[in-house]
């Protein structure tokens, strides 16, 4: 399931972060790759612990902590600190690959299982040619290119790639997260249920039935989640 989360960052946040990103010192993106992915990868990344990365990570994580759609879709337990990449010039593509199942945080050795991946766009589609994120989903190939400030959430188990950027620059943030609900089907069901509850409450308000339905959602979440 691919979920588009619009306006994770507002225009002011996008502009502020993008200015910092453009002025940063980018390095070869293979610093974070597994050996198989490294062969397919030609892009730039920000060093994980540089000052700009730390400031913008906080902006993103703060925004996500207030985003109801993100919470409902991901049911996040642990989020790996977001990374940043830039596709431009000769460093312009990342061929088909899969993301590592386990990510180890620097320092304490804590691990994050990658259930879901996300890409948050800092460049608008009219700022570069190409650069679509192509995700091979059970429904076929999905091609994603979103406005700055928007995010796509997709299964980390999928094969994916970034098409060559043939002009301009594509700057994004990306990372992986471990969900409180590991099984995709259960997470999907909870998401559908939550969306239905929201829409029901908007149309009929808080009736006895909508309250009972909400209680079913929370009881399922309680039964299936691992916090």
User: Whole-number minimum distance, CB 97 to Ni ion, in Å?
Assistant: 6
Name the residue nearer to Ni ion (CB basis): 13 or 99: 99
User: Whole-number minimum distance, CB 161 to Ni ion, in Å?
Assistant: 8
Name the residue nearer to Ni ion (CB basis): 57 or 85: 85
Tokens of 185: 């089907």
Helix (H, G, I), strand (E, B) or coil at 116: strand
Name the residue nearer to Ni ion (CB basis): 103 or 194: 103
User: Whole-number minimum distance, CB 75 to Ni ion, in Å?
Assistant: 21
Tokens of 215: 């209680």
Name the residue nearer to Ni ion (CB basis): 10 or 157: 157
Do 83 and 175 form a contact (C-beta atoms < 8 A)?
Answer: yes
Comparing C-alpha atoms, which of 226, 156, 146 is closest to residue 186? 226
Using CB under 5 A as the binding rule, the residues of this chain from 94 to 153 that contact Ni ion are: 99
Name the residue nearer to Ni ion (CB basis): 72 or 88: 88
User: Whole-number minimum distance, CB 49 to Ni ion, in Å?
Assistant: 20
User: Whole-number minimum distance, CB 99 to Ni ion, in Å?
Assistant: 4
Does 163 engage in binding with Ni ion (CB under 5 A)? no
Using CB under 5 A as the binding rule, the residues of this chain from 83 to 102 that contact Ni ion are: 99
Per-residue binding string, Ni ion, 174-213, x by CB under 5 A, is ----------------------------------------
Do 42 and 162 form a contact (C-beta atoms < 8 A)?
Answer: no
Name the residue nearer to Ni ion (CB basis): 99 or 178: 99
Comparing C-alpha atoms, which of 51, 139, 41 is closest to residue 91? 41
Cα–Cα distance measured from residue 128 to residue 82, given in angstroms and rounded to the nearest whole number: 22
Using CB under 5 A as the binding rule, the residues of this chain from 6 to 45 that contact Ni ion are: none
Which own/partner pairs from 222-227 qualify as long-range (CB within 8 Å, at least 24 positions apart)? 224/181, 224/183, 224/186, 224/190, 225/75, 225/180, 225/181, 226/77, 226/180, 226/181, 226/182, 227/77, 227/180
Tokens of 25: 């010192």
User: Whole-number minimum distance, CB 133 to Ni ion, in Å?
Assistant: 9
Determine whether 103 is exposed, middle or buried from the number of CB atoms within 10 Å of its CB (0-12, 13-18, 19+).
Answer: buried
Residue whose CB is nearest to Ni ion in the complex, by number: 99
* Residues at the interface with Ni ion (CB under 5 A): 99
């Amino acid at each position: 399931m691919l979920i588009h989360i619009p306006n994770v960052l507002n225009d002011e946040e996008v502009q502020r972060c993008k200015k910092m990103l453009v002025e940063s010192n980018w390095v070869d993106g293979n610093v974070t790759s597994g050996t198989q992915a490294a062969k397919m990868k030609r892009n730039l990344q920000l060093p994980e612990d540089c000052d700009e990365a730390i400031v913008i990570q906080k902006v993103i994580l703060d925004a996500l902590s207030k985003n109801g759609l993100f919470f409902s879709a991901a049911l996040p337990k642990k989020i790996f600190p977001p990374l940043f990449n830039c596709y431009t010039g000769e460093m312009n593509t990342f061929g088909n690959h899969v993301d590592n199942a386990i990510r180890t945080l620097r320092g304490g050795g804590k691990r994050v299982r990658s259930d879901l991946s996300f890409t948050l766009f800092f460049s608008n589609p009219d700022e570069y040619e190409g650069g679509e994120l192509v995700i091979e989903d059970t429904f076929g190939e999905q091609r994603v290119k979103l406005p700055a400030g928007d995010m796509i959430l997709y299964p980390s188990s999928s094969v994916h790639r970034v098409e060559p950027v043939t002009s301009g620059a594509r700057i994004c943030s990306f990372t992986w997260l471990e969900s409180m609900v590991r099984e995709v089907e259960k997470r999907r069901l909870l998401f559908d249920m939550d969306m239905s509850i929201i829409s029901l409450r908007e149309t009929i308000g808080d009736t006895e039935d909508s309250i009972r339905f909400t209680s079913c959602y929370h009881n399922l979440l309680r039964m299936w989640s691992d916090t």
